[in-house]
Amino acid sequence: MTLTKQVDNENLTEKINFECETGNYHTFCPISCVAWLYQKIEDSFFLVIGTKTCGYFLQNALGVMIFAEPRYAMAELEEGDISAQLSDYEELKRLCLQIKRDRNPSVIFWIGTCTTEIIKMDLEGIAPKLEAEISLPIVVARANGLDYAFTQGEDTVLAALAQRSNPKQAENVAEEMNLFEENTESHYTKHPPLILFGSIPDPVVNQLTLELKKQGIRVSGWLPSKRYTELPVIKEGNYVCGVNPYLSRTATTLMRRRKCKLIGAPFPIGPDGTRAWLEKICTVFGIKPSGLQQREEEIWKKLKYYVSLINEKSVFFMGDNLLEISLARFLIKSGMIVFEIGIPYMDKRYQGAELQLLQKTCKEKNIPIPIIVEKPDNYNQVDRIRDMKPDLVITGMAHANPLEARGINTKWSVEFTFAQIHGFTNAIEVLELVTRPLRRNQKLEKIGSQRYTDRR
């Protein structure tokens, strides 16, 4: 049984069809968010509270090197913890004191797993008391697979981080900002503070910040920052804008708890998305964007080779990392045919601008809007893939090998999560990943035909 919903748009007549199938998440585990967050927040330590299964997952899925000691660890729950024979407070206190002594981080993140949900461990109640006792900030984030999809682990962490405030830090940063404005006032247009949120690599942060600077817009801070002690000052009335489509909880927290104003823009993935993201921010601040059309055209010229490889090729998204809408929109713009967009969770308010851009792109290409299936049934999807025979399936790791065994080209969706795909210059990384299986098959066909010719 499927539930079909339709969303109207004032300017675009065709409707987007939404379906919801199983109501369950079929995604990578969200506790894997520590893999990129501990590298992004350099003075942090992540403590994942779960069972040995969670520990095995982190060790195997994230590929921890034996020569490198990462800044995250497992607090493995044993029978005494689950049966309430041991004190949760005392056990967590012991572990946090050990972390403070050995690592001396500026903040400890407690990442809750499925087990902590099932046994109703009161992490939010324990954290403030323990934080006061050991004089070290403790941020609690739920990243269990029962309630959240793969990349929503980052969303819960950033939402918890958005509620943190340091008055002394605010005063120091305010003084620095005043000095900064005096020295660089000529480069920027006067506008309200803008804070961007989303964990992306530092080179991409610099690229997007520079693109905004070219338009006269100064970024007041990023959430998260490189260090916990450098978190941006978030005040009522500040403007915020996300760079990833899976951060709806963070956006809601910033609006409701911190009273910020959200800029609803498409996400900066692909030349078209990056241009639309920049133009929307400029529009909100009353700034006329300059040079963005030429910039987008230059990038498309550089992508010409990759676009020629995928033009009129078909792709099927099974759904995993919540980047599916943005990636599908970019690939449609590049000439691909998208049969279906599977997505674990769809927030139509937060991704509203992205959905409108998808409609606009399909209208420009004169093609029907692909169906969006929320919480898809993988068994039904495999049947549809067998019938449609797409040239490429973007899927989670669980289904990649079985599909490859049936002669279907696949690409792991997790690779798009870890790759640098935001901004103008990184658009090539998306097409590099998408075309890799197709280029590999072309090489294999050439090698096979060459061997056949040599034998003759």
Q: Does 30-148 match 3-25+294-446 at the fold level?
A: yes
pLDDT value, residue 187: 74
Lowest mean pLDDT among 33-47, 83-97, 182-196, 303-317: 182-196
With a CB cutoff of 8 Å and minimum separation 6, the contacts of 456 are none
Distance (Å, whole) CA 281 – CA 239: 10
Please write the tens of the pLDDT for every residue from 422-442.
Answer: 999 999 999 999 999 888 877
Count CA atoms within 13 Å of residue 416 on its CB side.
Answer: 34
pLDDT value, residue 63: 62
And the tokens for 22?
Answer: 């199983």
pLDDT value, residue 42: 92
pLDDT band at 183 (very low <50, low <70, confident <90, very high): very low
pLDDT value, residue 449: 57
* Residue range 3-25+294-446, CATH number: 3.40.50.1980
Residue position matching structure tokens 């098959």: 441
How long, in residues, is the chain? 456
pLDDT value, residue 71: 84
Contact predicate 260/239, CB 8 Å: yes
* Residue range 30-148, CATH number: 3.40.50.1980
pLDDT band at 185 (very low <50, low <70, confident <90, very high): low
pLDDT at 320 over 80: yes
Average pLDDT over residues 337-345: 95
Distance (Å, whole) CA 453 – CA 73: 56
Residue 265's SS3 state is coil
Strands (E), 14-76: 16-20, 44-50, 72-76
pLDDT band at 332 (very low <50, low <70, confident <90, very high): very high
pLDDT value, residue 372: 96
pLDDT value, residue 167: 45
Average pLDDT over residues 276-295: 95
Burial tier of 451 (Cβ tally within 10 Å: 0-12, 13-18, 19+): exposed
Most trustworthy range by pLDDT among 75-79, 329-333, 401-405: 329-333
Q: Mean pLDDT of all residues in the chain? A: 87
Average pLDDT over residues 238-259: 96
Average pLDDT over residues 24-31: 85
DSSP state of 231: P
The residues that bridge with 52 in the sheet, in sequence order, are: none
pLDDT at 275 over 90: yes
pLDDT value, residue 78: 74
Lowest mean pLDDT among 140-154, 183-197, 241-255: 183-197
Distance (Å, whole) CA 363 – CA 224: 36
Q: Look at phi and psi of residue 316 and say left if phi exceeds 0, alpha if psi is from -120 to 50, else beta.
A: beta
The residues that bridge with 236 in the sheet, in sequence order, are: none
Contact predicate 44/160, CB 8 Å: no
Residue 422's SS3 state is strand
pLDDT band at 84 (very low <50, low <70, confident <90, very high): low
Lowest mean pLDDT among 38-42, 122-126, 193-197, 452-456: 452-456
The residues that bridge with 35 in the sheet, in sequence order, are: none
Contact predicate 395/366, CB 8 Å: no
pLDDT value, residue 390: 95
Share of the chain above pLDDT 70, in %: 86
Average pLDDT over residues 335-358: 95
pLDDT band at 65 (very low <50, low <70, confident <90, very high): very low
pLDDT value, residue 10: 44
DSSP state of 42: T
Q: Domain 177-288 belongs to what topology?
A: Rossmann fold (3.40.50)
pLDDT at 376 over 50: yes
pLDDT at 455 over 60: no
pLDDT value, residue 291: 93
Please write the tens of the pLDDT for every residue from 126-146.
Answer: 999 999 999 999 999 999 888
Which phi and psi angles does 111 have, rounded to 5°?
-105, 110
Going from N- to C-terminal start, the domains of the chain cover 3-25+294-446, 30-148, 177-288
Average pLDDT over residues 207-236: 94
Average pLDDT over residues 398-411: 92
pLDDT value, residue 53: 86
Contact predicate 149/246, CB 8 Å: yes
Cα radius of gyration (the chain): 23
DSSP string across 163-217: T---HHHHHHHHHHHHHHHHHHGGGS-----EEEE----HHHHHHHHHHHHHTT-
DSSP state of 228: G
Q: Are strands 221-223 and 392-395 parallel, antiparallel or unpaired?
A: unpaired
Average pLDDT over residues 139-158: 92
